[in-house]
A and B are shown apart, each in its own frame.
Chain A
């Protein structure tokens, strides 16, 4: 049983397109995140939702719009994709408080 699963694993698309990445967790966690890992492997938080409420938005362009239909799901929609959006996007989840986050396998987005 996969704890945090995201789809698709790979996404290749042209500049200007709109795409979505889906994430689901079956750990019973109340907080979910999107992180971006750049070509130098640096992981940086983008968004965090707690009980479907947005609590972190780290100055991400508004072309990125997260949506959390329920506590177990957090999707990421990206409009008007740009070359610089190419990266690996990780979904993660945790319990509120001083707890570790569990990560999905990542979605490698390539914009051509």
Chain B
């Protein structure tokens, strides 16, 4: 069964303290891995798509990497405005015509000034 596991569940950082979030996945053929950010009371906001092992994407203080079993979201010198829940999702290539995303339960990040 396709599955996504994120760790840690919650992470508290001081402003400027770099860290990484983990997303482990089990899927029968990866079509794509997606990172989203979700603020309280809002819908998930798209951050990155990764398609193959070794691929990396960057946006401001965020960098996403992908291996055959997991993805990391590295946060460099975070600021309080980076506080949010970060969601990882996979799309399976055996899904046929479907584009459905299988989500992890997210990592709640709090960055303190």
Contacts and interface: CB of A to CB of B under 8 A. Distances in A.
Contacts of B101: 43, 45, 101
A101 B105 contact: no
Range for the number of chain A residues in contact with chain B: 20 to 34
B100 A56 contact: yes
Interface in B29-57: 31-32, 34, 36, 38, 41-46, 49, 51
Range for the number of chain B residues in contact with chain A: 20 to 34
Interface stretch (A11-19, A64-72, A73-81, A90-98): A90-98
A55 interface: yes
B79 to A, nearest CB: 23
Given A43-B103, A98-B32, A100-B49, A48 B43 contact: no
Contacts of B41: 105-106
Interface of B: 31-32, 34, 36, 38, 41-46, 49, 51, 85, 87, 89, 91, 97-103, 105-106
